[in-house]
Amino acid sequence: MTGTRSASEKLFSMATVRTYRGWKAYLLAVLAVLACFTLRAALELIGHFYYLPMVPAVVVTAMLARRGPTLLAIALCIAGNVALVAREGLVDTVVNAGLFLVVGCVIAEICWAQRRMHRRSIELTRTLAGRNAVLDTVLATVPVVILDREGRVRRLTPAAAGLFGVDGPRAAGRPFADLVHGFDLARQGEQASNGPLEAPTGHWIGRRPDGRPLVLSLQMGVMPEASEEDYAAVCVTDLTEAETATERARDLDLQLHQVWRLNSLGEMAATLAHELNQPLSAATTYLQASQRDIERAGLIGQSAARTLELAKGQILRAGAIIRRMREMLTSGKRTVVDERISSMIDDLRPAFALIGRERGVEIRTVIANNDDFVRAERIQFQQALINLVRNAADAVTARANPVVVIRGEALGEEGYRVTVEDNGPGISGDIESIFRPMTTTKSSGMGLGLSVTRTIVENHGGTLTVGRSDLGGAAFTVDMPRGGEAP
Ligand code: ADP
């Protein structure tokens, strides 16, 4: 745009006649008059000319200077003529001088009007050149298709040709429905001649020769003075990437839910196994002791001892069932590979945005993407991070300017550190207790998030710790061991 403006500026200055001002303008008037008297003297060789040779002096001065110098030029012409040319009488002299004054003023007015018109036309040209440049830039970058009344392509902008993967000139004459499935100009024309075009299935589906589908939105504008050929301009917006991103975010959300269900069940089973282990072992020991005592009581005692043996068997079986359940829930196939922390966090951005929107919290990410390879199971690591971010967002909702910051920094040989900080109340009391399962301060909390998160991080060979953030709240730090460099 700057280049275009300077080009039209150049055109303007070239085409604009220079205007002299001040003493230069008056000097110009005097020189022009002198030149005309010289011309007049030369013309004397062929005849008598009085005021006619003076006209160029008035024209030149009026074209190059303003009112004052022009009037001076007229006055000098009259004075020179009166002084130099012997006329037949006073009346003749006065009448000729008066006539020249009138004619001179009229010529000057015509010159000034012409100059104003010239200047206006230059300004118009400059405005049009500017608008044209804007239009050219828009058409070069925005996909637009011009259609005729039959809905056939007349022209495509380069961006539209690139989007549909067609050769612009060759696409001319093809029905637009060849490029956009289900497009029917007659029907669309009835719906809305100007504005967004509603697709039968929500979005328009574009067709490319390589078979790659396009998700599109169309806006149509009918030409105000539609010629027979150009009828409507259709502006095409490519939503494919946005749709794919939304779909990916939806998939990830679903996976995270499933993983959360399994992880929390596994954690609950582990807690149950851990908590029940002691009473079950104690019950088994007591049964063994009773069994020994009863066996000493003879025949009846032996029968009771057998019953106790059966009870012991059932208790051991209960323990085995809980252990098996825990193993089942935690022994899923693990696929740990080299992953980039920045890429795993990038995927989570829509989820962070949703958490932030729901709670009215600003969630910022400051992630260094150098040296950020870790060995990880992608979805599990993402689950751990989401848990920390959700907790942090829950903790700051009562704050005036609630904020959560996710930072990532490479630790070189030691791996990579992700910190989730907030400006909430922080953790008070026994810090380690919050990692214990079933510990919660929330009315609807299950108290499993942090224990699941720690299990996930530790399964990856990392550590999860908590401290105080400079923001005023809690800072949860995940240190992950370094991975190899992925190809
Ligand atoms: P839940 O979220 O279901 O309560 P968690 O295990 O995720 O279970 O969290 C346990 C407790 O730790 C929470 O109830 C809360 O009291 C505390 N907590 C977790 N994260 C934070 C935080 N960022 N700031 C303050 N307290 C927190």
Q: Whose CA is nearest to atom 19 of ligand 1?
A: 391
> 465 CB less than 6 Å from ligand 1?
no
> 2 CB less than 6 Å from ligand 1?
no
Distance between Cα 446 and ligand 1 center (Å): 10
Phi, psi angle pair for 397, to nearest 5°: -60, -30
Amino acid letter, 332:
G
| Best residue among 389, 406, 440 to mutate for probing ligand 1, ranked by most atoms within 8 Å of CB | 440
Q: Are strands 214-222 and 195-197 parallel, antiparallel or unpaired?
A: antiparallel
Phi, psi angle pair for 136, to nearest 5°: -60, -45
Distance between Cα 391 and ligand 1 center (Å): 6
> 29 CB less than 6 Å from ligand 1?
no
Distance between Cα 434 and ligand 1 center (Å): 7
Q: How far apart are CA 309 and CA 339, in angstroms?
A: 53
> 271 CB less than 6 Å from ligand 1?
no
Domain 262-330 has what CATH class?
Answer: mainly alpha
Say what the pLDDT of residue 137 is.
Answer: 87
> 386 CB less than 6 Å from ligand 1?
no
Distances (CA, A) of 433 to 234, 288, 420, 437: 62, 36, 19, 9
| Best residue among 263, 386, 391 to mutate for probing ligand 1, ranked by most atoms within 8 Å of CB | 391
Say what the pLDDT of residue 129 is.
Answer: 93
Say what the pLDDT of residue 356 is.
Answer: 94
| Best residue among 386, 397, 405, 434 to mutate for probing ligand 1, ranked by most atoms within 8 Å of CB | 434
Distance between Cα 400 and ligand 1 center (Å): 20
Model confidence at 355, pLDDT cuts 50, 70, 90, reads very high
CA 88-94-96 angle, to 5 degrees, is 80
Ligand 1 atom having least distance to the Cα of 396: 24
> 161 CB less than 6 Å from ligand 1?
no
Asked whether 220 and 232 are in contact (CB, 8 A), the reply is yes
Distance between Cα 419 and ligand 1 center (Å): 15
Distance between Cα 447 and ligand 1 center (Å): 7
Say what the pLDDT of residue 136 is.
Answer: 85
Residue 9: pLDDT over 70: no
Asked whether 179 and 163 are in contact (CB, 8 A), the reply is no
Distances (CA, A) of 116 to 60, 72, 111, 120, 257: 15, 21, 9, 6, 74
124 Rama class: left (phi>0) / alpha (psi -120 to 50) / beta: alpha
> 156 CB less than 6 Å from ligand 1?
no
pTM score of the predicted model: 0.61
Distance between Cα 316 and ligand 1 center (Å): 35
Q: What is the pLDDT of residues 444-454, one digit of tens each?
A: 888 999 999 99
Say what the pLDDT of residue 28 is.
Answer: 94
Ligand 1 atom having least distance to the Cα of 437: 6
Q: Whose CA is nearest to atom 8 of ligand 1?
A: 447
110 vs 199, more confident: 110
> 301 CB less than 6 Å from ligand 1?
no
Distance between Cα 249 and ligand 1 center (Å): 25
Residue 192: pLDDT over 60: no
> 443 CB less than 6 Å from ligand 1?
no
Q: Whose CA is nearest to atom 14 of ligand 1?
A: 440
Q: How many CB atoms lie within 10 A of CB 139?
A: 17
Residue 2: pLDDT over 50: no
Say what the pLDDT of residue 1 is.
Answer: 40
75 vs 18, more confident: 75
Phi, psi angle pair for 205, to nearest 5°: -110, 120
Which of 21-35, 222-236, 254-268 is least confident?
222-236
Handedness of CA 155, 161, 164, 165 (dihedral sign): positive
Residue 180 corresponds to which tokens in the numbers above? 């956009």
Domain 337-480 has what CATH class?
Answer: alpha beta
Percent of the chain residues past pLDDT 70, beyond the cut = 92
Average confidence (pLDDT) over 296-323 = 82
Ligand 1 atom having least distance to the Cα of 435: 6
The residue extents of the domains of the chain are 2-140, 144-238, 262-330, 337-480
Q: How far apart are CA 477 and CA 33, in angstroms?
A: 91
299 vs 44, more confident: 44
Residue 110 corresponds to which tokens in the numbers above? 């015509």
Distance between Cα 331 and ligand 1 center (Å): 26
Q: How far apart are CA 332 and CA 343, in angstroms?
A: 24
Q: What is the pLDDT of residues 387-400, one digit of tens each?
A: 999 999 999 999 99
Out of 2.130.10.10, 3.40.630.10, 3.30.450.20, 2.60.40.10, select the CATH number for domain 144-238.
3.30.450.20
Distance between Cα 439 and ligand 1 center (Å): 8
Say what the pLDDT of residue 26 is.
Answer: 95
Residue 412 corresponds to which tokens in the numbers above? 């070189």
Q: What is the pLDDT of residues 107-120, one digit of tens each?
A: 999 999 998 998 89
> 215 CB less than 6 Å from ligand 1?
no
> 74 CB less than 6 Å from ligand 1?
no
Handedness of CA 8, 11, 16, 19 (dihedral sign): positive
Average pLDDT of the chain, as a whole number: 87
Q: How many CA atoms lie within 13 Å of 177's alpha carbon, on the beta-carbon side?
A: 10
